[in-house]
Each structure stands twice: as C-alpha cells, then as structure tokens.
Amino acid sequence: MENLAPFDPKNFDPHAPHFMQALCQMSLQAGQLIMDHYRDGVATETKSDQSPVTQADRDAEHLLEQKLAVLAPGIQVIGEEACSVALPEKMQDYFFLLDPLDGTRDFIAKGKDFTVNIGLIHGNQPIAGVIYAPVHEKLYFSGDSAAYLIHIAPDGELDMSQAQALNVPAIDPTGLRVLASAKHRAKETDELITQLHVKELVGASSSYKFCLVAEGKADLYPRHGRTMEWDTAAGQAILEAAGGIVTQTDDTPLTYAKLERGLDNPSFIAATARNWQDARK
C-alpha cells in the first residue's frame, strides 16, 4: 500500500480495486491490533459523553490515520477519538469517517460484534465503506457494488477475488426480521414493531447490524436515538451498494457533514428495500 501513487482528490476513482484493497488491508491491520488488546485486556476510561473508551480505540484510530495519510494524503480524516477532543472546524468535499472500534462496550464485555469502520464521504453522501468484524472473521466492503469475505483472520491473506457479492433479498411482507435489542430499545422502536408483521427479533451490536441487513439475515434495522456519523457511514455505504436503503424516519436521505449538529445523526431506518412498510398490520 505504501508504494501507491500520490492520491489526487480531484481526479480519482474511489471504487478502483487497488484503492478498495488498500482500505480493506488497513482494516485487517487495525483488527489485528484490536484483537491483541482483546486477548491481553485493557483498562476502560469514560469520555465526556459518558461513553467508554480504551487504548484499543486510540491505537486503532492512530494506525488508520497513518495508513490513510499515505494512501490518500489529500483527503480529510475525521476519527471518533479525535472528535472527542475537538470537532473539525470545517468539512472538505471528500472526507473519511473512522470508527476504529465500533461497539466498545461489546469489546470490553468480550463480545463478538465490535467492528473496524472506514467510510468515505463525497459531499454529504457515503460513497465507499469497509467494515471488518475480527471475531466473526468477516470483511464487508463497497464501492459501486458490495461484497464480503468470510473466514478472514486479522493476520490472514487478503484475496479480493474470493469475495462474495452482497445483494439484498426482497422484503417478505408477511413477516419481517427486525434488528432490535430484546431489553434495551427506544419506545419509538417498540411502537414501530407493534405496527409491523414481525416474525423474528434479531440481536446484534455496533455497525455489524448494517452488515446483517446487507447479508439478508435481517430485513429492518430501525434506530431511534443518537448516533454519530462515524457510526453509520461505512454501514450505509455497504448496505446501499448491496441494494438496500438508509433514510431518516421521514423517508428523507440520511446525509453527512452535519457540523451544525456536531456530526450526530437523527433517527433512521436501514432496510433491505424501501417497501418494508408493506409489512404493516
């Protein structure tokens, strides 16, 4: 990756195979670093917003920042941990959004669903994304299409030719599989669930939920409550490239570069298809 030609943000293809492979490779490297901490254990701190943070979060973000500075020196990089200190003063036309360890609580609890997230934004829309789930050993990525690799360990060999295409299935209006916590969910989510034909509630953490929808293992992921742009950028890019949708709850686009909001998101719906509402009772 370090031998790539200098990156020109005014004339490049963000979906070029070598560019996507470089993003995927650095996500594996971040995943390996995180898994070293996962095995050895890390101390937990609390940020000003009361969310937890560990040295694994900081180390993974630093690694990704270093790699992106080589791969794409003309592109702004906005990471979760950097933003916990200070938000950027302005947004460029192209920028990366990094959540180096999404699902820190799951990571601390020795769960399985925490992920490495790299999203690329142009204007206010995600145009490419990579999510790596190191415990599941799954790597999801998107450019003009979406695909994933399974059984890929953090120190495994990256062979992009083995990737399987992601194409979301049609909605079954007779019963939806909905991603929602069995115990901890917003009242708006409960209200929505009561209005739908739901055949299964699927549990998952972090941006891995977007991946399950993209794989066709769930139909609907309603999120009511605060998330940040780095939480959703990579997942939205992947799901939309797989044929799914991500919108605000009023069916308008979920957009990015919302500096006036402090880079937080409104509530949103992620689904395999826009006609998910056909499953209303």
Residues 59 and 153 in one domain: yes
In a domain, 137, yes or no: yes
pLDDT at 272 over 60: yes
Residues 223 and 151 in one domain: no
Residues 222 and 157 in one domain: no
Residues 152 and 40 in one domain: yes
In a domain, 264, yes or no: yes
pLDDT recorded at residue 7: 55
Residues 95 and 156 in one domain: yes
Residues 58 and 161 in one domain: yes
pLDDT at 9 over 70: no
pLDDT in tens, 202-261: 999 899 999 999 999 999 999 998 899 999 999 999 999 999 999 999 999 999 999 999
pLDDT at 76 over 90: yes
Region 135-143 average pLDDT = 96
Residues 121 and 228 in one domain: no
State the pLDDT confidence band at 5, using cuts at 50, 70 and 90: low
In a domain, 250, yes or no: yes
pLDDT at 12 over 90: no
In a domain, 170, yes or no: no
In a domain, 171, yes or no: no
Residues 115 and 30 in one domain: yes
pLDDT recorded at residue 48: 74
DSSP-assigned letters across all residues of 251-268: S-B-----GGGTSEE--E
In the chain, what percentage of residues exceed pLDDT 70? 95
Residues 29 and 132 in one domain: yes
In a domain, 7, yes or no: no
CATH number at residue 189: 3.40.190.80
pLDDT recorded at residue 3: 44
The full length of the chain comes to: 281
Note down the domain range covering 73: 17-165
pLDDT recorded at residue 182: 59
Q: In the listed set 145, 165, 185, which residue is the last one of a domain according to the structure?
A: 165
CATH number at residue 63: 3.30.540.10
In a domain, 5, yes or no: no
Residues 40 and 140 in one domain: yes
Distance CA 205, CA 152 (A): 20
In a domain, 9, yes or no: no
State the pLDDT confidence band at 183, using cuts at 50, 70 and 90: low
- How many domains would you assign to the chain? 2
State the pLDDT confidence band at 21, using cuts at 50, 70 and 90: very high
Q: Average pLDDT over the chain, rounded to whole? A: 92
State the pLDDT confidence band at 4, using cuts at 50, 70 and 90: very low
Residues 156 and 256 in one domain: no
Strands 76-79 and 52-54: unpaired
